[in-house]
Amino acid sequence: MKLTVGTILVIAGGLMIVPAALAHHGSAIYDNGKAVTVTGTVTEWTWSNPHCLLEFDVKDDKGGSVHWVAEVSNPPDMTARGWSRKMFKPGDEVTVIMIAAKNGEPIGRIARITINGKTYQGMGPVPGETKQ
């Protein structure tokens, strides 16, 4: 079989896609049966693919600060839920209901968030809640 430049480019392109597809994670790191609610102050909001990320600081029991990073889906999915690129800014206070990591690290997936008195749906339902 004679390899042409076009064939080589197609093969190379396919090989570049495979690692990216395999790198995407599932939800196995999260305790999907338990919700955690925290209130904190936004430090950064990243509106990008493949996930938007909210970083915020929460006061702990000892008066210290715990830096949380929580994800939601990609911008098109979140826009459909009423979220926006300019939704959060550093200093905003948020109450976040999330599915936290099983290992206790301060990371999670946002199920619901309240900012400025308005509540927004994140990714999936809040564990333990029933629809009415």
Q: What is the pLDDT of residues 106-132, one digit of tens each?
A: 999 999 999 999 999 999 888 888 665
Given this model, what pLDDT does residue 60 score? 92
Chain centre to alpha carbon of residue 88? 14
In the numeric block, the tokens 């994140």 are attached to 122
| Residues 127 and 32: beta-carbon distance below 8 Å | yes
Candidates 51, 55, 58, 62; CA nearest to 26 is 51
Is the pLDDT at 1 greater than 90, yes or no?
no
Given this model, what pLDDT does residue 5 score? 58
The predicted-structure confidence for 2-41, as pLDDT tens digits, reads as follows: 666 555 555 555 555 444 444 445 668 898 888 999 999 9
d(CA 39, CA 67): 12
Q: What mean pLDDT comes out for the span 69-76? A: 97
Look over the chain and give the mean of its residue pLDDT values, rounded to a whole number. 86
Within 10 Å of residue 25's Cβ, how many Cβ atoms?
10
Domains in the chain, CATH or no CATH each: 36-121 (2.40.50.140)
Candidates 35, 37, 31, 77; CA nearest to 58 is 37
